[in-house]
Chains A and B, each alone.
Chain A
Amino acid sequence: MALWVDKHRPTSLDKLDYHIDLSQHLKKLCASGDFPHMLVFGPPGAGKKTRVVSILRELFGPGSEKIKIDQRIFETPSKRKLELNIVSSNYHLEVNPSDVGNYDRVVIQDLLKEVAQTQQVDVSAQKRFKVVVIHEADLLTRDAQAGLRRTMEKYMSNLRIIMCCNTTSKIIGPIQSRCLLVRVGAPTVPEICKVLHKVVKKEHCGPLPESLAVKLAEESGRNLRRALLMLETAKVQCHPFKENQEIPRMDWEEFIRVVMAQVLRMQNPESLQIVRGQLYELLNHCIDPTTILKTLARELIAKVDGDDIKMRFAQEAAFYEHRLRIGQKAIFHLEAFVAKIMSVYKRHLMSMDM
């Protein structure tokens, strides 16, 4: 049984529930036969991939849904072998070159050139080009992005590229100027509620109280995928839905709350020792360090009073997140963050006492 997220994923541009204007524009684009390179960006869970799949369907018909996965081996100039999974149909390829880390340039060069240099022979074919979808394009190295530049222009007649990413900040200018930028914003709370109601209706599992829907939507942080997953969990926990049902949280989120409570309860080396153990536990469960830091900061900020201290916490979080990104070992920076927060908080408490 598929998850509801996958089961109810819209498959064509007409069936998309929000950003209707965008869907109309995209439809026009697909019909015009003159399709540009695209850069689709937006926060997670906003429906980027759903839109890309719908575009492919609009361009090539149902044939684009017959996909197969195969493993390709690329060889770097230094004879190192790289393995990469490629999802492909007759009309398109999907790759995630950042999987191979620093060697993504090789994948871009080899794969794209191979696709680009094969021409469609069949004159009656619907479209004369193949589409390459690059996921997580913001993780591509600069070298790989530079490798895309000329290829995108030179082989425009055989190849179109659709890139998916969370932010355009890390895409170099020359690539941005060669693409049509498509922004997919996160759905608003009412839009999420609408989708939730629709899914519940399709699943025939009783009415969904409006207050619960709003609560789910707000809790998800405008992330539709997360909202749907939470809805499904809620259904498993308690069905039929109740007005004031407790929304199930992830285990790790609960755990971060424990960490937060510890930080605010006591600010001394012993407490830091305990927190270190807890942080290690989180890391051992493969929670992304950035997520840990962000969630921890959010919980902390929500718990303390006073604008000044909140701002201070936010600044420290940003500072240590930056460090975390450039640094090597996550635990150092997480611990440094906690220590800093403890010291700031203690000073704050002492100044209040006086």
Chain B
Amino acid sequence: MSFFTKRQTTGSSSSAALAAAAAAQKPWIEKYRPKTMDDISSQEQAVAVLKKTMESQNLPHLLFYGPPGTGKTSTILALARDIYGPEMIGSRVLELNASDERGIQVIREKVKNFARSTVSHNIGNQSCPPYKIIILDEADSMTADAQSALRRTMETYSKLTRFCLICNYVTRIIEPLASRCAKFRFRPLEEKHSRERLEMICRQEDVKIAPEAILSLIRLSEGDLRKAIMYLQSASRLIGKDAEIGIDVIADIAGTVPESIIDGLEACWRTKDYNAISSEVQNVVADGHSAAKVLSQLHTRLLKNDVLNSIQKAKIAEVFGDMDKALCDGADEQLQLLNMMTRVSAIAA
């Protein structure tokens, strides 16, 4: 795979040293971002359709949606690189994301100006499609006003410009915009693809990792490849080059609450002893575990629990739901945990 080899740096030695230093500090998620459409290992359906449309030189407006870390941004960047080549990409693609100001003003000025400038068919001897691409990353954090300002712009300049909207929640894109785009859903990555990618990175970076650690990495990341790669890199930094990465390190980095603590909490469900519950909760909070994580792990336990009957489980699930809502509103973690535990113990005991 040629694209993984380091690019040849030309010029003075100092700039070469700089480039090398920069490459070494690049996070792996950037370093191993697929560079061309052929590199993208999963999302077969979306990739196949996109390749077809690329051949016909007629790209529709695009709307990518799906959970984080499934390759939405990577796909569009790879697509743009395939269409324009590395030199032209700078002048033909405008990328705006949530870190840029994207109020209605910017849509009216910056986007419109970029959208209406015409581009020539070919540059030098290279042929190039006569349109530009505007990527609106994290489009679900745009205001509804800004989105509606896009509506007419998209249609008027559709000859010159294609839009690509990327978001996590398609419901936050207003209907008129969504109907103007070809929609692609990005699914969470399958285990097979995640594993391939992670193993490849381990080989390239010389990381020693236990096979079961890779498995737990995939399980913890829940189909989010970026998360998995990030955890892997953090783990290898923490451990150092020589040692092997084990399961415990991965669990530590992912911020999972140790099983023993969850066991303790689950055991408390059976008692009606307030002081026991209170001290257990106190310890969890003092150790700095996040209540949301505790809740989600307890929920997994609840599903597997075979002592409780279905009605009890359903009631407990309702309590969990209330707590999650309260946590989202910013309520105090300790009180909420206490509340949840006491209510559950009333149901379960």
**Chain A 174-203 interface residues, beta-carbon cutoff 8 Å to B:** 174, 176-181, 183-186
Contact residue among B27, B255, B274, B277 (Cβ-Cβ distance under 8 Å from A36) = B27
Is B336 in contact with A177, judged by CB distance below 8 angstroms?
Answer: no
Identify which of residues 279-328 in chain B touch chain A, using a CB-to-CB cut-off of 8 Å. Answer: 285-293, 326-327
B335 in contact with A151 (CB, 8 Å):
no
Most buried by B among A150, A178, A186: A150
Give CA–CA (A141, B272) in the complex, Å: 39
> B234 and A33: CB pair below 8 A?
no
The segment out of B50-58, B94-102, B148-156 that lies at the interface is B94-102
Taking residues whose C-beta sits less than 8 angstroms from the other chain, chain A's interface range is 35 or more
Which B residue's beta carbon lies closest to that of A24? B238
B264 proximal to A (CB < 8 A): no
With most chain B CB atoms within 10 A of its CB, the pick from A170, A177, A180, A326 is: A177
Shortest distance from the beta carbon of B168 to any chain A beta carbon, whole Å = 8
Q: What are the interface flags for B248-286 relative to A under an 8 Å C-beta threshold, 1 for contact and 0 otherwise?
A: 000001110000000000000000111001100000011
Contact residues of A between 125 and 181, Cβ < 8 Å to B: 128-129, 142-143, 146-151, 153-154, 156-157, 167-170, 173-174, 176-181
Give the residues from 23 to 73 in chain B that come closer than 8 angstroms, CB to CB, to chain A: 24-27, 29-30, 68-69
Residues from chain A with a CB closer than 8 A to the CB of B329 are: 322, 325-326
Which stretch of A39-47, A208-216, A246-254 is in the interface? A39-47
20 new A-B contacts at CB < 8 Å, known A33-B25, A301-B274, A318-B338: A43-B285, A46-B288, A108-B99, A128-B22, A148-B99, A157-B22, A167-B333, A169-B292, A186-B286, A186-B287, A301-B278, A311-B345, A317-B338, A318-B332, A318-B335, A318-B336, A322-B329, A322-B336, A325-B329, A326-B329
- Point out residues on A near B: beta carbons under 8 Å: 25, 28-29, 32-34, 36, 41-43, 46, 77, 108-109, 112-113, 123, 128-129, 142-143, 146-151, 153-154, 156-157, 167-170, 173-174, 176-181, 183-186, 221-222, 290, 294, 297, 301, 307-308, 310-311, 314-315, 317-319, 321-322, 325-326
Find B98's partner among A150, A179, A322 (CB 8 Å cutoff): A150
Residues of A within 8 A of B234 (CB): 36, 180
Minimal beta-carbon separation of A37 from chain B (angstroms): 9
Bound Cα distance A322, B292 (Å): 15
Measured CB to CB, the closest approach of chain A to B99, in angstroms, equals 4
Cα separation A120 to B274 with both chains bound (whole Å): 57
Interface residues of B, count at CB 8 A: 65
A169 touches B97 (CB 8 A): no
| 22 pairs of residues in contact across A and B, judged by CB atoms under 8 Å | A25-B238, A32-B240, A34-B24, A34-B25, A41-B288, A109-B99, A142-B141, A146-B141, A150-B99, A151-B99, A170-B327, A177-B224, A177-B227, A180-B238, A181-B254, A294-B335, A307-B274, A308-B272, A317-B339, A321-B336, A325-B330, A326-B329
Q: Which residues of B contact A (CB under 8 A)?
A: 14, 17-18, 21-22, 24-27, 29-30, 68-69, 97-101, 103, 105, 137-138, 141, 224, 226-227, 230, 233-234, 237-238, 240, 253-255, 272-274, 277-278, 285-293, 326-327, 329-336, 338-339, 342-343, 345-346
Please, which residues of chain A bring their CB within 8 A of the CB of B291?
167, 169
Report the minimum CB–CB distance from B225 to chain A (whole Å): 10
Interface SS of chain A: helix
The reply to whether A307 and B26 form a contact with Cβ atoms under 8 Å apart is no
